Amino acid sequence: MIDTLLLLVSPLIALELRLDGQVDWQEYGLGLIQITFLFLIVKLAILFAFGFYKRCWRYADADELQQVAGLALSIVVLQTLLFTGLYLGQVGAIANLPRSLPILDGILSVLLVSSLHFSVRIIERSCQKRSRSFNRRDRVLVVGAGDAGVSLVREMQRHPHLQFHPVAFIDDDPAKLNLQICQTPVVGDRYTIPKYVRSLHIRKVVIAIPSLPGQVLREILEICNAVGVPTSTLPGIDHILNGQIRLSDVRDIQIEDLLRREPIQMDVQQVLSFLKGKRVLVTGAGGSIGSELCRQILKCCPAEIALVGHGENSVFLIQQELERTIQLFQESDHFLEQPLLGQPLPEQTPRLSAYIADIRFCDRLEYVFDQFRPNIVFHAAAHKHVPMMELNSPEAITNNIQGTKNLVDLALRFNVEAFVMISTDKAVNPTNIMGASKRVAEMLVLQAARVSQRRFVVVRFGNVLGSRGSVIPTFKQQIAAGGPVTVTHPEITRYFMTIPEAVQLVLQAAVVSKGGEVLMLNMGQCVKIVDLAKEIIRLSGYEVGKDIEIVFTGLRPGEKLFEELLIPGEQYEPTEHDKLVIVKNASRFIPGHLNPTVKALCEAAVRNEPDLIRFFLKQLVPGYHSQSPVPFTLPESIKLPAESSRAAAETSPTILQAASPHLSSAPPPRLANG
């Protein structure tokens, strides 16, 4: 009704403007009345046709502005055509009116009507601002005036009931200083945070830069801690779905954020072409690395994914999660953009198969391979806990070595195109059973690559934050219990990566490799575990030494002060990806007696002989130094002569046969060099 009144008045105002207020009513009066009602019919018809009255104007935004522009153009064009026809036909008194009247009236009508509707939003926001200006508990300073920060502020303004009131932006870009974005000023850079926290009565700081490196995030956090203001952040860019920022994404800063590095630049097309339409099998699918592999592989449009794992509950959980994701894709009216690759999923979504299987049992694995017929295998299943495997060495051998051998043999038999094994930096000059077992598993994969000339590759990286067995959950549990936090040694260091970062680089490594190489991930700078413990204590709201103590307990069995990344003799070359290094000559470090020694090693594991296990590992893995508290002495009958070289020890079938008396009675295979 109000719009109708405005549209009736609009031609009169337009005529007054056209004639500068000098209207001869005897000349123009009748024509004005006639054209007013004709124009009213045209304008209301267009407004209803464009769905103008189906909009909720309290949430009016840029989309409504575009609609208003289209309305103005349509009304002006139709009114001009109608008026021109009546004018040329000398219909009634309309011919006396100025020919510019339909244009002026069309523009004026749209301005009046849209101003009325947009005023609903403006008045509501003004009232909200006044009512909230007295509430300082939730006054927010947003760090980052980029896309993420602006999206976050808009979300805060749309949902005032969530008690977030954005007061100002902080941004290091000097070009943005003093600008107004979403009616929120950009007041300074990060170093002015203390000043504006006090002057603007800020109660919360939100760091809204998902791609912010961990070092810069630490600096901002230290500034905020110095003034005692609570600080939150957004997750990394690889966690944000569809690039959309929501208030629910705002969370407390976690230790993973402080170690965050620059976003990984992946070769999108290479990864897509590698996985698209393929049948992909993932072992250890319920684990932290395996489950993230499944999530990211799903985004690359495979034909089918086989989830293989020993723990039924963990496999069930990742299967349910992936099925929900697939259902979301199928039910959506439009394609969702992938967080990893930025590409739309095809209409035919991937299929899922779940197999509960222990990789140590070859018969079960053979059934899985026969049923699924994989094109690509990602091998993430392994025992990784160093002290636990030091005390349970037979399990490390049967799972990490026998399990890998079963998978490699089946991959060769079923003509798998690519086999990617996830290894660890602990395989480099290992001092523990776990690292040595992973090094032997690497040899098995590299040997298969050399024999088959297929894309069989090993990817090494260090500790993964948030993975099972990671030190972070242990620290959090100790803090929740009131402390103390236990660290084995004040100088112990480790390399850390986040789970998504590690998995993205694994996918890229699988693409870069041609087969028979070891690819190493650039882990960045190593981190002192004690510094990590201090950061977690601070993030938990406590003070080190005052609220929570740190206690040093000594190195555990098999544990090193620092992890090494280089094996003597390996040739490291850069790849096209700046975070991947390739070992070109990795296949040359495979002993000629690998297969019979692995057989003897696995049989020693079946018989639960840890000392014999260590003996065989020393024959296979140069640089392995056992930290077993009890020295192992071979019987006199199988001791090496004093003058014999290590090479002779590594190639002597007599030692293998004597040290493993329960081997088959068949003569041992002929070995290299002898």
In the sheet where 184-188 sits, what is the strand order? 180-181, 184-188, 165-170, 139-143, 204-207, 231-233, 251-252
User: In which element (H, E) is residue 114 found?
Assistant: helix 101-132
Helix (H/G/I), strand (E/B), else coil: 232: strand
Please report, for residues 387, 425, 551, 556, the alpha-carbon distance to residue 488 in angstroms, rounded to integers and kept in the order given. Answer: 12, 19, 8, 7
In terms of Cα–Cα distance, which of 38, 19, 22, 25 is closest to 87?
Answer: 38
Please report, for residues 79, 93, 506, the alpha-carbon distance to residue 513 in angstroms, rounded to integers and kept in the order given. Answer: 67, 83, 11
In terms of Cα–Cα distance, which of 417, 430, 327, 354 is closest to 386?
Answer: 430
CA distance 222 to 210: 18
DSSP structure class, residue 357 = -
Catalytic residue among 43, 278, 426, 579: 426
CA distance 438 to 389: 12
The alpha helices in 402-520, defined as continuous H runs, are: 403-413, 433-452, 471-480, 499-512
Q: Residue length, the chain? A: 674
Contact 50, 117 (CB under 8 A): no
β-pair type (165-170, 184-188) = parallel
Our answer to whether residue 426 is catalytic in this structure is yes
Residue type, 287: G
Q: Which residues participate in catalysis according to the annotation?
A: 426
